[in-house]
Amino acid sequence: MAVTKDRGVVEGYRSGLEEKLADQLNRAGEPVVYEQFKLRYTQPEKPRTYTPDFILHNGIIIESKGRFVTADRQKHLFIKADHPALDVRFVFSNSRSRIGKASPTTYAMWCERNGFLFADKWIPQEWLDEPLDLTRMIAAKAALGWDPPSWP
């Protein structure tokens, strides 16, 4: 097996966590759909695009984060405001990390406060097994141009 950094460069992953999640998806028989789609969102007065790390067959969007800086948190609030039906979930290296040195707020607390599901280190099997949800899948298709592998 290639060294994580080398393999990440070859396969386009930006972090070791993304590579681990791709390996997990492969082992679970889940198609690995990595950074293939873009959606538009608006940061006030600044149209932007966002490229999700992974999208599962059931339309759940997975964003992997080692560091979850202010710009990332703001971006996801803008995305949620523009695309409320999207199901974006986070996989953190450590959800107990604080959002800043002086802040008591952790990544987990921020997610709970803002209505995002999250996990540590791995995509929970429950997320992989979640049934197809028509609303979630239509939202992902509309926002990303994503064609789900199968419709209900």
Cβ atoms of residues 50 and 79 within 8 Å: yes
Which position has the higher pLDDT, 104 or 41?
104
What interhelical angle do 107-114 and 70-82 show, nearest 10?
20
Closest CA to 146 of 42, 47, 33: 33
Q: What is the pLDDT of residues 29-82, one digit of tens each?
A: 999 999 999 999 887 778 889 999 999 999 999 999 999 999 999 999 999 999
What CATH number does residue 124 fall under? 3.40.91.30
Which position has the higher pLDDT, 4 or 26?
26
Whether 11 is covered by a domain: the verdict is no
Whether 150 is covered by a domain: the verdict is no
Domain span holding position 56 = 24-144
CB-count exposure of residue 137 (10 Å: 0-12, 13-18, 19+): buried
Whether 15 is covered by a domain: the verdict is no
Q: What is the pLDDT of residues 1-24, one digit of tens each?
A: 333 444 444 568 989 999 999 999
Q: What is the DSSP letter of 45?
A: T
Q: How many domains does the chain have?
A: 1
3-class state of residue 81 by DSSP: helix
- Model pTM score: 0.76
Whether 19 is covered by a domain: the verdict is no
How many C-beta atoms surround the C-beta of residue 133 within 10 A? 16
